[in-house]
Amino acid sequence: MYRRILGYPSVKKPTIIETVRLNRLRWFGHVQRMEGNRIAKRVLYVNLGTTRLRGRPRNRWQDEVREDGGIVGGEGWQEKVHNREERKELLRTARNCRILHVAME
Domains of the chain by residue range: 2-49+57-97
DSSP state of 81: T
Is residue 102 pLDDT above 60, yes or no? no
Is residue 101 pLDDT above 80, yes or no? no
pLDDT tens digits for range 15-59:
888 888 888 888 888 888 888 899 988 888 887 777 878 888 888
Kindly state the average pLDDT of the residues 71-100.
Answer: 77
Taking the C-alpha atoms of residue 64 and residue 50, their distance in angstroms, rounded to an integer, is: 20
Is residue 11 pLDDT above 60, yes or no? yes
Is residue 104 pLDDT above 60, yes or no? no
Q: What percentage of the chain exceeds 90 in pLDDT?
A: 2
DSSP state of 1: -
Element (H, E) at 3: helix 2-6
User: pTM of the full predicted structure?
Assistant: 0.69
Q: Label residue 100 by pLDDT band (50, 70, 90).
A: low
